[in-house]
Amino acid sequence: MSQVSARASRHMMRGTLSIFLAEVLILPTGLITAVFLARRLGPIDYGLFALVSRLALWAEWSGTAAFGQATVKFVGQTSDWEPIGATVVRLHLMVAGGIAALLWLLSSPLSLLFKEPVIANYLKLFAIDVPIFSLACANSNILVGRGYFKERAQISACRWIARLVLIVFFVELGLSVKGAIIGSIGASVVELLISWLYIRPPVFSKPAFSARRLWGFGAPLFMSRLSQQIFRLDLFALKVLGGTTAQVGFYGAALNLSIPPGIVSKSVSPPLLSTLSRLLGRADESQAKEIGTNALRSVIWLLPFAAMTAGAASGIVRFIFGQQYLPAAPILALLIFAALGLYTIQMAIAIVTALGRPAWAFRLSGPMVPLAVVGHLILIPWLGGVGAAIVTTSVACLAALASVFIVYRIWRVFPPVKTLLKGSLCSGLAFALAVFLSVSGYMIIFKLVAIMLVILLIFLLLGEFTPTEIAWIRSTIGRTAVADEDLDVI
């Protein structure tokens, strides 16, 4: 392994850890926020907030999906990033402005569709957040492309802390659901201001980078992301196909508890794409393949933790949300595997994007939509929220298997068979321990921590982590808070 390649790997690991430590704040802050809102608003109003926030998030991510990964790739391949940055910011403004206007205009029709007239005003308020969120994402993507992972992590940390504080503040003022929405908008403003201080893109200079080139590369990635957003219509489908607002609240609670794989995905995917783009740009394909293989190995590493969550679903829901939210437990036991499937898909999309094959991203995600629609039409009227979760999980896992196969077909990269066997063994043990170790109250925390330690110990004893990886992890932890001297050489 060359010195530059080793530095690239270490830099990616440190960047991944930095972003993970920032994004993992969603666990304490996000869960505290969710618990506060669920208990403060009750199942019905919490269901309304879950519905409108899901719609707003769908709109926001649709507006950023066209350029996110394309920005990271193009910025990562050049030192002259400012022309690209100017084009990216302007395109984000144009697209987000259009989506915000569309969300505003569709607010009343959507309220009729969901048979909840009150959400029309909520959606109009949330429309304000769309361009703010989009600009913040543009700045963050430029930072990741330049390899500034630590700065990107700091921005995420500030966002999650601000979101918790502002939502609690405005809800406690008596603004209820509107207060939660205003707090969410305030968090986006904080993220935008801090990211602007870090990157300062040349907004008013004439863009020298072709917007058509960005559109051309980003179009299949946009279609892929749009497909994934439409695929996650489970919450909306549940309401449209006869679910009550309380059932939507239960489903929203389960969604909130299934976010850990998504946190890891947001931590790994951007540094993975940036690092692979840089290595492939230098024709260092062997090191790029090693990093790509490790990204797919990480899917197997997360599988036992998903099994643990499924086995302990009832205790987790009861402890966090209370007895009245217990119907969310079987939904959580399914959705945690859907989240892991989506994580796998994101790893595969990052790899094929770095390889300059973005069309495969849409080929992976596109078929998920019709499969999900047919499945929801059949199972939701029969099984309600559990039916929606079965469809979402089944389709996500099928797409995940297809994504691993496609990466192997294109690049001959595949998770090692030994890792699959070790992951399967750990998963079975973790699920059994979670089911049969019966505890209540705060003891659920100690139970989950103990099972996590058992999982890590088994992986370690079975030799899953190489000495080099262990050394890098120790080095990464020790240097995460230190300025990165290798930044300019990768």
Closest CA to 221 of 417, 61, 439, 103: 61
**Tokens 């509107």, located at residue:** 178
**Tokens 């219509």, located at residue:** 233
- CA distance linking residue 386 with residue 19, whole number of Å: 33
Residue 8's pLDDT band (cuts 50, 70, 90): low
Closest CA to 156 of 182, 133, 179: 133
- CA distance linking residue 15 with residue 13, whole number of Å: 5
pLDDT, position 6: 52
Residue 269's pLDDT band (cuts 50, 70, 90): confident
Determine, yes or no, domain membership for 486: no
Q: What is the pLDDT of residues 343-400, one digit of tens each?
A: 999 999 989 988 988 888 888 889 999 999 999 999 999 999 999 999 999 999 999 9
Q: What is the pLDDT of residues 396-453, one digit of tens each?
A: 999 999 999 999 999 989 888 999 999 999 999 999 999 999 888 889 999 999 999 9
Asked whether the predicted pLDDT for residue 185 surpasses 60, the reply is: yes
Q: Assess contact for 348 and 407: CB atoms under 8 A.
A: yes
Determine, yes or no, domain membership for 487: no
**Tokens 């201080």, located at residue:** 197
Q: Assess contact for 236 and 380: CB atoms under 8 A.
A: no
DSSP string, 4-53: HHHHHHHHHHHHHHHHHHHHTTIIIIIHHHHHHHHHHHHHHHHHHHHHHH
Does the CA dihedral 429-435-438-442 come out positive or negative? positive
Q: What does DSSP assign to residue 489?
A: G
Closest CA to 309 of 341, 345, 334: 334
Asked whether the predicted pLDDT for residue 28 surpasses 80, the reply is: no
Residue 223's pLDDT band (cuts 50, 70, 90): confident
- CA distance linking residue 425 with residue 454, whole number of Å: 12
Asked whether the predicted pLDDT for residue 229 surpasses 60, the reply is: yes
pLDDT, position 242: 87
Closest CA to 273 of 352, 179, 388: 352
- CA distance linking residue 274 with residue 292, whole number of Å: 12
Determine, yes or no, domain membership for 161: yes
Highest mean pLDDT pick, 30-39, 214-223, 379-388: 379-388
- CA distance linking residue 68 with residue 87, whole number of Å: 13
pLDDT, position 18: 54
Q: What does DSSP assign to residue 148?
A: -
**Tokens 């603004």, located at residue:** 175
Determine, yes or no, domain membership for 490: no
Higher pLDDT, 79 or 160: 160
Q: Domain span at residue 96? A: 3-481
Higher pLDDT, 269 or 240: 240
Say how many domains are in the chain: 1
pLDDT, mean of residues 213-238: 80
Q: Which two tokens stand for residue 244?
A: 């009550």
Could you give the 3-state DSSP secondary structure of residue 210? coil
Residue 476's pLDDT band (cuts 50, 70, 90): very low
pLDDT, position 483: 32
Asked whether the predicted pLDDT for residue 3 surpasses 60, the reply is: no
Asked whether the predicted pLDDT for residue 487 surpasses 50, the reply is: no
- CA distance linking residue 376 with residue 394, whole number of Å: 11
Residue 152 CB contacts under 8 Å (≥ 6 apart), including other chains: 15, 18, 19, 22, 140, 143, 144, 270
Residue 17's pLDDT band (cuts 50, 70, 90): low
Determine, yes or no, domain membership for 350: yes
pLDDT, mean of residues 319-329: 91
Q: Assess contact for 235 and 30: CB atoms under 8 A.
A: no
**Tokens 């910011």, located at residue:** 89
β strands within 145-219, DSSP E: none
pLDDT, position 266: 74
Q: What is the pTM assigned to this prediction?
A: 0.75
Determine, yes or no, domain membership for 24: yes
Closest CA to 318 of 478, 160, 199, 439: 439
pLDDT, position 474: 58
Determine, yes or no, domain membership for 330: yes
How far lies 27's CA from each of 110, 262, 451, in Å? 31, 11, 18
pLDDT, position 245: 84
**Tokens 């966090």, located at residue:** 320
Determine, yes or no, domain membership for 370: yes
Closest CA to 86 of 11, 136, 139: 139
Mean pLDDT over the full length of the chain? 84
Long-range CB contacts for residues 82-85, cutoff 8 Å, separation at least 24? 82/201, 82/202, 82/205, 83/207, 83/208, 83/209, 84/142, 84/209, 84/214, 85/142, 85/199, 85/201, 85/202
Lowest mean pLDDT among 65-69, 254-258, 298-302, 312-316: 65-69
Q: What is the pLDDT of residues 282-311, one digit of tens each?
A: 778 888 898 899 889 999 999 999 999 999
Q: What does DSSP assign to residue 346?
A: H
**What percent of the chain lies above the pLDDT cut of 70?**
86
Q: Which two tokens stand for residue 475?
A: 């080095």
Lowest mean pLDDT among 39-43, 54-58, 208-212, 278-282: 208-212
